[in-house]
Structure 1
Amino acid sequence: MIVPKLRAATPGARATLILIGCAALSACTPPTGDFGRVEPSVVHDRLLPALGLEAARQRGEPVSYYRLTDAERTMRALGWGVVMPPLPEQWRERTLVELRRTRVLPAERVRLEKESYVRTLLAIDYRSSGARYAKLIDDVRADTDRIEPFFAAAAKVAEDDRVRARAADRVPELTPDESANVDGRIAENGLMIAWVRDSFEERLIAYRYALDRLVLETPDRKAVEAEEAIATFASVLRSLRPLGPAKGVFKG
């Protein structure tokens, strides 16, 4: 079977398409639905992924045109809430993350500063300083609840990829398109798993940094509860992250 590909475009046309996508995204950062998952959207589900797939192909990154499995969809839905900055007011960071998620931007172009979370949290006009601690605690606990489901889904995807790789070695008359799609999907899954794993680590660093700054600016008894929540987050994360480092073009 021949896998359809997007038609090659001139550099100017590709740049125009990407700019259109960026403009659409900046006008509407990804909406969040239940359980921190992204809501369905034509821009975020169709337009940007199509642009990103072409951009990734032009950069020489592995790309797969295969449909996603149920396990792959579940893993990506669970991972979205981890890679996306937790505060809606972090609109710049959320936009950059969505451009990376859809592969409009390469992986190495997006790095989130640990200061962003607490800087945004302090800028929000809460009615009491204790509300900021409550928000921090809620965010930490929400991320703790995400750890086990995500890594369970990632383990299923990793096992499916091992089956996929073994099948590719055995299938007679494997076409170049099929081989490229298999390798591309395995690499794409590895990128997502590594990104979420790294995002959990970044969240832990950001939350510890935020708690220290909140105590400096507005000491509150809720700091003890926040510290306990962060310690639980760190403990669960240490016990459940089973996956190794990123590989290939997604290293780093």
Structure 2
Amino acid sequence: MPGIIVPVRRAVPVLALMVAGVMLGACSGGDFGRTRADFRNDDMHKWIGQEATASVGVPPSQFQLTDNERQLRDLAYPLIEAPHSRPAWKSVFGDYQPSASPWRQKVAFDRTAYGRALIDEPHRSHSSRYAQLIDDVRDDITRFEPFFGSAIRVLDLDRKRQASMRYMSDISPREKGDAVARMEENSLIVQWVQISLQQRVASYRWALERLVLQAPDPMAADADRLIGELASQTANPPVVARPVIGQPLTTRG
């Protein structure tokens, strides 16, 4: 009998851990940082365009997203969400959530938020803070070209869509309104990313300045170089999005 009791007692902690794991999985954002399955779908980032248009009073388009438009939104999300400065294990609860557009009057950009989170978070050494900053800036640089490559394709197709509307004899007011709203939406998304990149550069610079002040390190030179590279790309984007109504969309040659 004692031989039976011992394994049962040992099994209790294991069972408790299994139950706790199931409960964490149910209330978290997903498995070990992955977005929860019920959040994942082809149009999971469709809200970006809807938020952009709603924030400036433009009616939403009822058109379905094209593959290119869907990709634009997917690539925009990592650039408009707040940059993270915390260990990966803290993402186990998931933090995917819609963000307010920069045109919301109540939204106030705080360029110190990223740096304060980076510095206040317990680290084994100040070098890990520099490494995290460098990784975050490098990630944005890596995302820059794919996003703007997608933006060029979408805005170019929108120009063609706008031109073709002049030759359509039986286009209804509703169809025309949905087309214009979608073009405006696409343009606003690109503008949103452009604004977000400017804010990220400001946040990274503030964080680096405070790191240098509190814990000088040769790694600061690498961080400064990468921030300068991101700032240069942000100041000279390959495409400039302007509102469809009143001004044409332009692409830099």
State the TM-score, normalized to the length of structure 2: 0.70
Residue 240 of structure 1: aligned partner: 237
Cα distance in 2 for partners of 1:49, 1:76 equals 7
Native 8 Å contact 2:72 2:147 kept in 1: yes
Matched, 1:166 2:143: no
Q: CA deviation at 1:136?
A: 0.3
Aligned residues: 213
Residue 122 of structure 1: aligned partner: 119
Cα distance in 1 for partners of 2:224, 2:149 equals 26
Residue 24 of structure 1: aligned partner: none
Cα distance in 2 for partners of 1:76, 1:88 equals 23
The percentage of counterpart residues that share the same residue type is: 31
Matched, 1:189 2:186: yes
Q: Which amino acid aligns with 1:83?
A: I
- CA deviations 1:20-77 (Å, max 9, x no partner) are xxxxxxx87799989xxx7764499779968x95996698423101111111111111
- CA deviations 1:146-190 (Å, max 9, x no partner) are 111111110111011111112222222211210111011011111
Where does the alignment leave 5 or more consecutive residues of structure 1 unmatched? 1-26
Matched, 1:100 2:100: yes
Deviates more, 1:62-71 or 1:80-89: 80-89
Matched, 1:200 2:197: yes
Where does the alignment leave 5 or more consecutive residues of structure 2 unmatched? 1-26, 246-253
Cα distance in 2 for partners of 1:207, 1:227 equals 9
Residues 48 and 221 of structure 1, relative CA distance in 2, 3 Å threshold: closer
Cα distance in 2 for partners of 1:98, 1:42 equals 12
Residue 7 of structure 2: aligned partner: none
Deviates more, 1:113-122 or 1:165-174: 165-174
Determine helix, strand or coil for the equivalent of 2:148.
Answer: helix
Native 8 Å contact 1:194 1:246 kept in 2: no
Q: CA deviation at 1:223?
A: 0.8
Greater C-alpha radius of gyration:
2
Q: CA deviation at 1:141?
A: 0.7
Q: What's the Cα RMSD here?
A: 3.8
Q: CA deviation at 1:133?
A: 0.4
Q: CA deviation at 1:238?
A: 3.6
| Equivalent of residue 177 in structure 2, options 175, 180, 183 | 180
| Equivalent of residue 61 in structure 1, options 58, 77, 84 | 58
Native 8 Å contact 1:151 1:242 kept in 2: yes
Native 8 Å contact 1:96 1:110 kept in 2: no
Residues 219 and 140 of structure 1, relative CA distance in 2, 3 Å threshold: same
- The answer to which structure has the higher helix fraction is 1
| Equivalent of residue 230 in structure 1, options 227, 230, 233 | 227
Cα distance in 2 for partners of 1:141, 1:54 equals 28
Native 8 Å contact 1:62 1:183 kept in 2: no
Q: CA deviation at 1:237?
A: 3.1
Residues 30 and 184 of structure 1, relative CA distance in 2, 3 Å threshold: farther
Q: Which amino acid aligns with 1:137?
A: I
